[in-house]
């Protein structure tokens, strides 16, 4: 290291303290990267890799980015899962004795990045921290650094349960100790979640953040705050006391179920389009949109709390004009939570403070409108609103109406706020006019028409009088500054005072204005808690207004909750599907689960709507428990504690999991964690393996849920043999999605009716998919043959089993050796695990074997 130049030695010393981050090392107007940082960053950022002399024998790799454009490059690195340490010059180069001092002023990580083009202000960006409480229990803390919102919960279960909750919250980074890092590193890497180690060496007093939470989860919170403090290296006054999420107060929905139900993100493209959030989001503020997402992620599980929200929505629905007035005012309210975060971390601009002031201006109208509504719950909202009058008063006095984005270009502070700043501005704007006026006044006072005011770099401003007129000058006021051949130059105290103002007006004015702005910004820190409380109330009001608007527009009804388990939905509709199609074309369906019969076995053709029906029930439960009206004619619901789904098929290629393995793992997770108050949705369990394996697993699962768990369950299947289970399981009932044949085609009625389905209509679905007519005709012939054989070989006391060898025993069918060989191959084939193309190819090969041989 001693062979390098002092600057490179300084770089290496700083880099040794931040080995896990790209080091952006400030040199003049650039951030430079060296050695392996430069090689890797140049590839990721697609910038030129160069080299420089380091004082040693070999040149070292180097790349760099302009400091004024660095934000975009940093965001790219962080978005790809890297950390970036920002190393700045911490002393004036002109005052430095030797090499300029530099130190890391901030470390930007995937969980702590709060600004950027890819940051969605409508979404919470949580960084998490996990800690082991005991062998089967974890503490999980999470914090949105931009808004200061912190929460903590205990997660019961194994590592998969913990990871599922981390995924559901959309975390990009999780802070752990060394032991948990080893246990989770592989799983997190597959999910592109960064694991960071925090040793917890920093000691600090944060009882105001942790005092109201259980001791067993405090370590996770402490570790998280310690990590954020260490990386951000700035004040964090906006971090609110951590809220402890009690499991019994929230409806738990794991990441897989959120994905299957498309609550926040579409399965198809990951966007919000086609999701429950997309349907309900008519919020007008970013903080309202974030709160809506959190409510969807964590619906309520307390009857009284749910009913309070529903009652508030009722009052808003009944107050149409008030709704319109409130929405108009809220549209002018900026993101108070993120503004408070910027103020706390010292990054708020003049424009941010102007937005805060403009937002606070709207609060009195909102508060007054709610108070005058004479609605009990809306009056309570009015009482909860803190107008932050003192903060508004300061901002009204200090901040200009339209300040620039930059904090060092002037134009932030209002005229009249500070006398000295006003003098600077006046001197800067009117300096020449003032000099001209002074020149005129001196000419009149002395009677010297040739008197003039001039300027040079050495003496500054001066009054010049020709020698022939010196006897007219007021030499008691004038102080000689310079003698020329034909004139004398003088200054006056007044001119000297103005000279300082004029010459230093711009620079001095900008410096003073930044100082004043910084004081105003710092003064807002004492109001952060009030601003955050106001933000919480207004965001809640924004979401409830959205619920009222959507409910009224789409003819939703108010659900009723009870203490039991029975669930009854009359003419329920899938809210998202209904919005996407003509409302008049949607076929509504009932769902009735009682204490005596709380399991439905759903059969019916593929594409008939079984999965849609199941999702519909789950979405109605979620909507009701976040406090929204629901899409049906009537809903009587229990309070559900958890929702588990196994819908759809998707390989987990990253971890090498097959569709069937994923199906089994998701099913196991649901069965292991469900309670009697949960809602389970299982769609086509067992289709990823052979027929009898799948049928056995499906039946065993239903029996276990029925006998051991007792949860409300919707279970769809293509195994019609399972419909006989209603004779064995007392709480199971059969329903089917109806279809009919018309002109040789299948017509899906999308209507759920009592009893099992009588046909699967698989060939008709293949027809809709466009398979060749010759293939379909052959399939129909085979189907008739197979069904006839099955009728003759099945006895009442034996399980249904179709064997293709039975065909050769039919006295009306005589088969050749080739045909018997084809049937043997067909009987042994695992068709359910073939892709459609493989199945077609296999059928083609069998067909070729049956083709008559020429000659």
pLDDT in tens, 554-599: 999 999 999 999 999 999 999 999 998 876 678 899 999 999 999 9
Q: Is 387 annotated as a binding residue?
A: no
Eight-state DSSP code of residue 119: -
What are 754's strand-pairing partners? Answer: 735
User: Which residues in 666-821 belong to E strands, given as ranges?
Assistant: 679-683, 712-716, 732-742, 745-754
User: Which residues in 621-758 belong to E strands, given as ranges?
Assistant: 634-638, 642-646, 679-683, 712-716, 732-742, 745-754
* Lowest mean per-residue pLDDT among 91-100, 462-471, 778-787: 778-787
Q: Give the pLDDT of residue 700.
A: 87
Q: Is 610 annotated as a binding residue?
A: yes
How far is 163 from 169, CA to CA, in rounded Å?
A: 10
Q: Is 598 annotated as a binding residue?
A: no
Each residue of 691-729: pLDDT tens digit?
A: 677 788 888 889 999 999 999 999 988 877 888 898 999
Q: Is 452 annotated as a binding residue?
A: no
How far is 416 from 201, CA to CA, in rounded Å?
A: 49
Residue 483: pLDDT over 80: yes
CB 623 within 8 A of CB 276: yes
For residue 52, count other CB atoms closer than 10 A to its CB.
Answer: 14
* Lowest mean per-residue pLDDT among 88-97, 220-229, 374-383, 806-815: 806-815
Please count the CA atoms within 13 angstroms of the CA of 245 that sit on its side-chain side.
24
What mean pLDDT is reported for the chain?
86
Sequence-ordered list of residues with C-beta below 8 angstroms from that of 365, at least 6 positions apart, any chain:
325, 329
Matching residue, tokens 């300082």: 500
Q: Is 151 annotated as a binding residue?
A: no
Both tokens of 849, joined, read: 């074997």
What is residue 746's three-state secondary structure?
strand
Under the banding of pLDDT at 50, 70 and 90, the label for residue 764 is low
* Lowest mean per-residue pLDDT among 302-306, 458-462, 715-719, 780-784: 780-784
Q: Give the pLDDT of residue 45.
A: 95
Q: Is the dihedral of CA 214, 215, 217, 220 positive or negative?
A: positive
Q: What strands, in cross-sheet order, belong to the sheet with 479-483?
A: 452-456, 460-466, 487-491, 479-483
Of 444-448, 651-655, 780-784, the range with the highest mean pLDDT is 444-448
Residue 349: pLDDT over 50: yes
Under the banding of pLDDT at 50, 70 and 90, the label for residue 417 is very high
CB 635 within 8 A of CB 569: yes
Each residue of 202-254: pLDDT tens digit?
A: 555 556 777 788 999 999 999 999 999 999 998 888 999 999 998 889 999 98
Both tokens of 14, joined, read: 């700083």
Mean per-residue pLDDT, 513-522: 95
Q: Is 98 annotated as a binding residue?
A: no
Q: Is 555 annotated as a binding residue?
A: no
Task: Using alpha carbons, list the distances in angstroms from residue 333 to 285, 363, 378, 533.
Answer: 7, 8, 19, 14
By CB atoms closer than 10 A (0-12, 13-18, 19+), residue 134 is: exposed
Matching residue, tokens 């970036």: 84
Under the banding of pLDDT at 50, 70 and 90, the label for residue 658 is low
Matching residue, tokens 């600004």: 115
Under the banding of pLDDT at 50, 70 and 90, the label for residue 837 is low
Mean per-residue pLDDT, 800-829: 57
Q: Give the pLDDT of residue 307.
A: 97
How far is 296 from 459, CA to CA, in rounded Å?
A: 72
By CB atoms closer than 10 A (0-12, 13-18, 19+), residue 788 is: middle
What are 189's strand-pairing partners? Answer: none
Q: Give the pLDDT of residue 808.
A: 41
Please count the CA atoms within 13 angstroms of the CA of 551 that sit on its side-chain side.
28
Where do the domains of the chain lie, and which CATH numbers do they carry? 6-108 (3.40.1170.10), 120-245 (3.30.420.110), 419-523 (1.10.1420.10), 556-762 (3.40.50.300), 784-850 (no CATH)
How far is 431 from 437, CA to CA, in rounded Å?
A: 10
Mean per-residue pLDDT, 74-93: 93
How far is 406 from 352, CA to CA, in rounded Å?
A: 11
Q: Which of 669, 707, 663 is nearest to 685 (CA)?
A: 663
Q: Is 608 annotated as a binding residue?
A: yes
Sequence-ordered list of residues with C-beta below 8 angstroms from that of 156, at least 6 positions apart, any chain:
136, 137, 247
CB 594 within 8 A of CB 731: no
Mean per-residue pLDDT, 268-284: 92
How far is 562 from 802, CA to CA, in rounded Å?
A: 47
How far is 830 from 832, CA to CA, in rounded Å?
A: 6
CB 323 within 8 A of CB 515: no
Each residue of 143-157: pLDDT tens digit?
A: 999 999 999 999 988
Q: Give the pLDDT of residue 720.
A: 79
How far is 176 from 372, CA to CA, in rounded Å?
A: 51
What H or E segment, with its residue span, contains residue 561? strand 560-562
What are 480's strand-pairing partners? Answer: 490
Residue 651: pLDDT over 50: no
Sequence-ordered list of residues with C-beta below 8 angstroms from that of 554, at least 6 positions apart, any chain:
575, 578, 579, 583, 631
Phi–psi pair at 292, nearest 5 degrees: -60, -45
Q: Give the pLDDT of residue 656.
A: 42
How far is 433 from 427, CA to CA, in rounded Å?
A: 9
Task: Using alpha carbons, list the distances in angstroms from residue 33 to 79, 86, 171, 542, 617.
Answer: 18, 11, 28, 46, 55
């Amino acid at each position: 290291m001693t062979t390098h130049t002092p600057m490179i030695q300084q770089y290496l010393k700083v880099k040794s303290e931040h080995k896990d981050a790209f080091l952006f090392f400030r040199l003049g107007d650039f951030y430079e990267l060296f050695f392996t940082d430069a090689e890797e960053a140049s590839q990721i950022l697609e910038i030129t890799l160069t080299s420089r002399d380091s004082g040693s024998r070999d040149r070292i790799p180097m790349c760099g980015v302009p400091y004024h454009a660095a934000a975009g490059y940093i965001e790219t690195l962080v978005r790809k899962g890297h950390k970036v340490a920002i190393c700045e010059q911490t002393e004036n180069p002109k005052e430095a004795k030797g090499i300029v001092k530099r130190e890391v002023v901030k470390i930007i990580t995937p969980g702590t990045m709060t600004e950027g083009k890819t940051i969605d202000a409508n979404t919470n960006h949580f960084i998490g921290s996990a800690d082991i409480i005991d062998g089967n229990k974890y503490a999980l803390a999470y914090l949105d650094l931009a808004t200061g919102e912190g929460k903590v919960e205990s997660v019961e279960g194994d590592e998969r349960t913990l990871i599922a909750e981390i995924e559901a919250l959309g975390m990009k980074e999780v802070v752990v100790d060394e032991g948990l890092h080893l246990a989770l590193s592989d799983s997190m890497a597959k999910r592109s979640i960064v694991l960071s180690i925090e040793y917890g060496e920093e000691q600090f007093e944060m009882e105001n953040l942790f005092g109201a939470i259980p001791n067993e989860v405090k370590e996770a919170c402490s570790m998280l705050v310690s990590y954020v403090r260490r990386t951000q290296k700035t004040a964090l006054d906006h971090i609110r006391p951590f809220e402890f999420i009690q499991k019994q107060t929230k409806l738990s929905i794991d990441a897989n179920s959120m994905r299957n139900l498309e609550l926040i993100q579409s399965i198809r493209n990951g966007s919000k389009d086609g999701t429950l959030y997309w349907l309900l989001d008519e919020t007008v503020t970013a903080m309202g949109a974030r709160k809506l997402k959190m409510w969807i992620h964590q619906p309520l599980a307390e009857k009284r709390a749910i009913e309070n929200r529903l009652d508030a929505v009722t009052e808003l629905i009944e107050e149409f004009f008030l709704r319109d007035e409130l929405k108009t005012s809220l549209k002018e309210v900026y993101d108070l939570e993120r503004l408070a975060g910027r103020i706390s971390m010292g990054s708020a601009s003049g424009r941010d403070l102007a937005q805060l002031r403009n937002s606070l201006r709207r609060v009195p109208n909102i508060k007054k409108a709610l108070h005058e509504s004479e609605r009990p719950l809306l009056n309570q909202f009015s009482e909860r609103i803190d107008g932050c009058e003192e903060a508004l008063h300061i901002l009204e006095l200090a901040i200009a109406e339209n300040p620039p984005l930059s904090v060092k270009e002037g134009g932030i502070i209002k005229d009249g706020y500070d006398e000295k700043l006003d003098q600077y501005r006046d001197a800067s704007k009117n300096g020449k006019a003032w000099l001209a006026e002074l020149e005129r006044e001196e000419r009149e006072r002395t009677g010297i028409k040739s008197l003039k005011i001039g300027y040079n770099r050495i003496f500054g401003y001066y009054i010049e009088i020709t020698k022939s007129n010196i006897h007219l000058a007021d030499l008691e006021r004038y102080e000689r500054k310079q003698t020329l051949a034909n004139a004398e130059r003088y200054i006056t105290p007044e001119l000297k005072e103005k000279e300082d103002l004029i010459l230093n007006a711009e620079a001095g004015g900008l410096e003073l204005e930044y100082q004043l702005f910084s004081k105003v910004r710092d003064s807002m820190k004492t109001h952060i808690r009030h601003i955050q409380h106001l933000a919480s109330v207004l965001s809640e009001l924004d979401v409830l207004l959205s619920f009222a608007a959507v409910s009224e527009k789409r003819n939703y009804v108010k659900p009723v909750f009870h203490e039991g388990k029975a669930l009854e939905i009359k003419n329920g509709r899938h809210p998202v599907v209904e919005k996407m199609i003509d409302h008049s074309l949607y076929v509504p369906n009932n769902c009735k689960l009682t204490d005596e019969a709380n399991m439905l076995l759903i059969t019916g053709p593929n594409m008939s709507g079984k999965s849609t029906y199941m999702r519909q029930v789950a979405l109605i439960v979620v909507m009701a428990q976040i406090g929204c009206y629901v899409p049906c004619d009537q809903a009587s619901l229990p309070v559900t504690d958890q929702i588990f789904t196994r819908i759809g098929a998707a390989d987990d290629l990253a971890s090498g999991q097959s569709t069937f393995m994923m199906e089994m793992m998701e099913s196991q997770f649901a069965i292991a964690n469900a309670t009697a108050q949960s809602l389970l949705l299982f769609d086509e369990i067992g289709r990823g393996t052979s027929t009898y394996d799948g049928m056995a697993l499906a039946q065993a699962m239903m029996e276990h849920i029925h006998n051991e768990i007792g949860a409300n369950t919707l279970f769809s299947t293509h195994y019609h043999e399972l419909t006989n289970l209603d004779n064995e399981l007392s709480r199971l009932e059969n329903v089917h999605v109806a279809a009919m044949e018309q002109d040789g085609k299948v017509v899906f009625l999308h209507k759920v009716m009592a009893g099992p389905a009588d046909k699967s209509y698989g060939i008709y679905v293949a027809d809709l998919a466009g398979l060749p007519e010759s293939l379909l005709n052959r399939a129909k012939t085979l189907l008739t043959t197979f069904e006839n054989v099955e009728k003759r070989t099945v006895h009442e006391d034996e399980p249904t089993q179709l064997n293709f060898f039975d065909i050769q025993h039919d006295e009306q069918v005589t088969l050749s050796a080739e045909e018997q060989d084809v049937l043997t191959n067909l009987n042994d084939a695992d068709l359910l695990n073939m892709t459609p193309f493989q199945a077609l190819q296999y059928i083609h090969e069998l067909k070729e074997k049956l083709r008559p041989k020429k000659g």
